[in-house]
Structure 1
Amino acid sequence: MAVAVHILTLLAQQDDQEPLTSEHIAGSVNTNPVFIRRILGLLSRAGLVASQPGVGGGWRLLRDPASISLLDVYEAVGAGPLLALHHSVPNPNCLIGRNIQQTLLGYFGQAETAFKRVLAQQTIAQVLATARAGELSLPS
């Protein structure tokens, strides 16, 4: 998720909508371009980015950064459930073991709903503005 937000924020910074190569993006993220292309593929399937082939090609945003919520990004990368249950089935002969998973599903569901509500209220444009403001506050 963090890398996907990084990618989209970097693309949003391109005022002229000049496409960026996966190599350029990988340089910013400090990772391998193959990994970046994998994330870009997920973002492309979600309709957030598109590739432009050929000389001068690369990746660009398909939507205004102010219309891309962090929830859109979360769902695009398939981050999965926020909180997971046990890796093995608890003991059904134990009162707690028999009931804990159903109990936790209720609590975890509430937490995930709150998490998604917060993500839905934040946009890539806001992330970009915050990142740019951080640049202004750096000591020279």
Structure 2
Amino acid sequence: MKHDSRLSSVLHALLHMAEHDGPMTSEALGKCLGTNPVVVRRTMGLLREAGLVTSDRGHAGGWRIAVDLSTVTLRQLHEALGEPAVFALGNRNERPQCLVEQSVNAALDGAFADAEALLLERFAQITLATLATDFARRHADWRAQKG
């Protein structure tokens, strides 16, 4: 089953950027994410189009967060990524002739729509600041355990 992990990757990248003093290059972000810098540039370009990040070229260039973390929700990021499907499940046939399959599709479509609406509503309640605060707490706990 193929998963679209761009939202998770974007959140990972943005939290690294929030902790970093100054711009981060696509190469540095690629190392953080374990991916190619070209993938980073393509994905971050979508966020730039949405006004969430900026980029500067040259020796001191890189990507910067352009907004306050408390104003950006997971839902906004999902939308900036082109609203990829949130579920890998789907109907066997979108336009079946079989009446049984039509009944199955009607039940599944309703359940999928309800589940997606609930998930997107939850995404709208979670901000980047919420994630940054959670990371800071986890990092402090980790440091305390290390002594």
Q: Fold conserved (TM > 0.5)?
A: yes
- Give deviations 1:88-122, integer Å, cap 9, x for gaps: 347523x3212222222211111111101111111
CA distance, structure 2, for counterparts of residue 85 and residue 100 of structure 1: 11
Identical aligned residues as a percent: 31
Which residue is equivalent to 1:85? 90
Which residue is equivalent to 1:133? 137
Answering whether residue 102 of structure 2 is matched by residue 98 of structure 1, we say yes
Which residue is equivalent to 1:41? 45
**Structure 2 counterpart of 1:13, from 19, 36, 57:** 19
**Structure 2 counterpart of 1:53, from 50, 53, 57:** 57
Which residue is equivalent to 2:111? 107
Which residue is equivalent to 2:3? none
Alpha-carbon distance change, 87 to 51 in structure 1, aligned in 2, over 3 angstroms:
farther
With a CA cutoff of 8 Å and minimum separation of 6, indicate the structure with the bigger relative contact order: 1
- Give deviations 1:23-81, integer Å, cap 9, x for gaps: 11112112211111111111111111110122201110111011110111111112422
Q: Residue type of the partner of 2:70?
A: A
Q: CA RMSD in A?
A: 1.7
CA contact (8 A) 1:12 1:125 kept: no
TM-score (norm 2): 0.83
CA distance, structure 2, for counterparts of residue 70 and residue 91 of structure 1: 35
Which residue is equivalent to 2:124? 120
Say how many residue pairs are matched.
137
Which residue is equivalent to 2:27? 23
CA contact (8 A) 2:91 2:108 kept: no
TM-score (norm 1): 0.87
